[in-house]
Amino acid sequence: MRNMADRDEVAENIYLIDNLVYSIPRSGSVYLINEEKKALVEVGPPSSVDSVLNGVRAAGVEPEDIDYIVVTHIHLDHSGGAGVLLTHMPKAKVVAHHMDIRHLVDPQRLINSMRKVQGDGFWGKVGQVVAVPSSRVQAVHDGDTIELGSQQTLRIIDAPGHSPNHICIFETRNGGVFSGEAAGSLMADGKIILPVNTPPAFDLEQYVATIDRLMKLNPSRLYYSHFGVTSAVQDNLEQAREKALIWDDIVTAALRENAAESIAERMADRFRDEIELARGNIPLYDYLMSNMQVYAAAYVKYHQDKHRAETAGQRKR
Ligand SMILES: [Zn+2]
């Protein structure tokens, strides 16, 4: 039996596929854009490949007919399954930021880094990452366009912060933006918006600048990679921006008090009421809470790097 939720048409010719990332429902979104040419935005980790293939077919599209797989950034829960999916999508090209292509073609460094961040126990849920052949990647820059049909063109937007080479994708038919993780994560059916980020390359300053850029662009909706779609664009962007700065204040205060070990708890406590709303989706709630240390580490690492840069700058003067 087909699950309606797995093939929701969330905007004209755009379908949301739940990729059941790490076996968590309603946590990882893949979008299928069904035009003369067909594109996926995001894929999920290798362990999500079957969910993606089922979702594509449920929307009435054959995997062999997919032309593009666009990934917003290189983290494995977004791009990791691309290599495996290509074996089911013989004509597809993987579209990624020009600086991230190397990690698709040679994923070992990325695997090592993510394994270190998430821990070995977690690693079993990711699945086997397969390299993307260099003949099947398409590097993009800010402003590049990909035409899918007479009414649908994708435009690449540089959106650093969550990761250095993160991109967002504007789509002309509905005027929406695939925001990846640039605008935070939407959870529990839109009840939770949190600026969750992971080390080692999160940059708060860039993150806020990217949100400002998206606010100016004022798209009709945001298609989140975690999870789903909203038309409350400005409000959600404002929340992600404000909460990122609040978490940063918490980190600043804790580091000043030499209380680094308390940061994850303080961060969770600050938005406790909101986080509690995830209890309707226990796997999501557990994931969120067990990852709070990782999110805290992203903000701490940013602080330490910034502090180091400032100290080096002062010495030069
Ligand atoms: Zn990410």
Q: In CATH, what number is assigned to the domain containing residue 286? A: 3.60.15.10
Q: SS3 for 279? A: helix
Tell me, in angstroms, the distance from the centre of ligand 1 to residue 315's CA: 34
Tell me, in angstroms, the distance from the centre of ligand 1 to residue 75's CA: 5
Task: Say if CB 95 and CB 67 are below 8 A apart.
Answer: no
Q: How far apart are CA 131 and CA 17, in angstroms?
A: 23
The structure's pTM equals 0.95
User: What pLDDT digit, counting tens, does each position of 15-71 carry?
Assistant: 999 999 999 999 999 999 999 999 999 999 999 999 999 999 999 999 999 999 999
Tell me, in angstroms, the distance from the centre of ligand 1 to residue 150's CA: 32
Task: Say if CB 77 and CB 44 are below 8 A apart.
Answer: yes
Task: Say if CB 128 and CB 46 are below 8 A apart.
Answer: yes
Tell me, in angstroms, the distance from the centre of ligand 1 to residue 316's CA: 34
Confidence at residue 317, expressed as pLDDT on a 0 to 100 scale = 57
Q: Is the sign of the CA dihedral 146, 147, 151, 152 positive or negative?
A: negative
Q: Report the pLDDT averaged over residues 242-266.
A: 96
Asked which of 72-81, 117-126, 280-289 is least confident by mean pLDDT, the reply is 117-126
Q: Report the pLDDT averaged over residues 265-293.
A: 95
The CA-based dihedral angle spanning residues 19, 25, 31, 32, taken in that order and rounded to the nearest 10 degrees: 60
Q: How many CB atoms lie within 10 A of CB 220?
A: 12
Tell me, in angstroms, the distance from the centre of ligand 1 to residue 58's CA: 27
Q: How many CB atoms lie within 10 A of CB 238?
A: 14
Tell me, in angstroms, the distance from the centre of ligand 1 to residue 73's CA: 7
| Residue 99 or 306, more confident | 99
Confidence at residue 1, expressed as pLDDT on a 0 to 100 scale = 34
Confidence at residue 316, expressed as pLDDT on a 0 to 100 scale = 65
Q: How far apart are CA 116 and CA 263, in angstroms?
A: 20
User: What pLDDT digit, counting tens, does each position of 181-229 carry?
Assistant: 999 999 998 999 999 999 999 999 999 999 999 999 999 999 999 999 9
Extract long-range pairs of 288-293: CB within 8 Å, 24+ residues apart: 288/187, 288/194, 288/196, 291/196, 292/264, 292/265, 292/267, 292/268, 293/264
| Residue 190 or 166, more confident | 166
Q: How far apart are CA 223 and CA 24, in angstroms?
A: 18
Q: Is the pLDDT of residue 4 over 60?
A: no
Domain that holds residue 183: 4-316
Confidence at residue 117, expressed as pLDDT on a 0 to 100 scale = 84
Q: Is the pLDDT of residue 2 over 60?
A: no
Q: Report the pLDDT averaged over residues 237-260.
A: 96
Q: Is the pLDDT of residue 121 over 80?
A: no
Confidence at residue 120, expressed as pLDDT on a 0 to 100 scale = 81
**DSSP H or E run through 278:** none
Length of the chain in residues, anyone? Answer: 317
| Residue 251 or 5, more confident | 251
Tell me, in angstroms, the distance from the centre of ligand 1 to residue 314's CA: 33
Region class of 225: left (phi > 0), else alpha (psi between -120 and 50), else beta: alpha
* CA atoms in the 13 A half-sphere facing the CB of 75: 23
Confidence at residue 3, expressed as pLDDT on a 0 to 100 scale = 40
Q: How far apart are CA 288 and CA 67, in angstroms?
A: 34
pLDDT tier at 7, thresholds 50, 70, 90:
low
Q: How far apart are the first and last CA of the chain?
A: 68
Number of domains within the chain: 1
Tell me, in angstroms, the distance from the centre of ligand 1 to residue 197's CA: 7
Tell me, in angstroms, the distance from the centre of ligand 1 to residue 70's CA: 14
Tell me, in angstroms, the distance from the centre of ligand 1 to residue 204's CA: 14
Residues 6+ apart with CB under 8 A from 96: 70, 71, 74, 79, 104, 137, 138, 139, 140, 167
